[in-house]
Amino acid sequence: MDRQLNAKISVRLFTDEKCFGPGIASLLRRVKKYHSLRSAAASMGMAYSKAWTILKSCEEHLGFKLLHSTVGGKNGGGAALTENAEMMLTAYDEYCAQIKAYADNLMEEKFSFYQTLQSNEE
């Protein structure tokens, strides 16, 4: 059996409390795709109330709005990311990609012996 060793890195950002991480990033990406917080939450199997709570908590701790929302009606409601949310999401994604690249290189450097140990046991 081939048992490949790997690491899972998850980045969470903090101000006074956790305020941005993989969950809110995924939610924002889906709001961008579906133009709706409700649809974004549904696509994640999340209750709208939970998505709203996560969003409001994140906005409170970051100190700025993440969504422009319009209430339904004749033209329907919707949501769009604010410019600050776009900047935050882009920076977060780039940061995570760079950390993953570094972590992959470090994993290879520090655990390159692993395949040899596994081969010796067979």
Structural domain for 102, as ranges: 13-121
| CA gap 23, 20 in Å, rounded | 8
Does residue 3 fall inside a structural domain? no
Per-residue pLDDT tens over the stretch 37-76: 999 999 999 999 999 999 999 999 999 999 998 776 556 6
Instruction: Give the pLDDT confidence score for residue 117 in this predicted structure.
Output: 78
Does residue 95 fall inside a structural domain? yes
Between 16-20, 38-42, 94-98, 102-106, the lowest mean confidence (pLDDT) is in 16-20
Does residue 107 fall inside a structural domain? yes
Nearest CA to 24 among 58, 75, 69, 47? 58
| CA gap 90, 86 in Å, rounded | 6
**Whole-prediction pTM value?**
0.84
The CATH code of the domain that includes 111 is: 1.10.10.10
| CA gap 69, 59 in Å, rounded | 14
Nearest CA to 92 among 77, 106, 81? 81
Q: Is the pLDDT assigned to residue 23 strictly greater than 60? A: yes
Mean pLDDT of the chain: 90
Does residue 4 fall inside a structural domain? no
The tally of domains found in the chain comes to: 1
pLDDT band at 114 (very low <50, low <70, confident <90, very high): confident
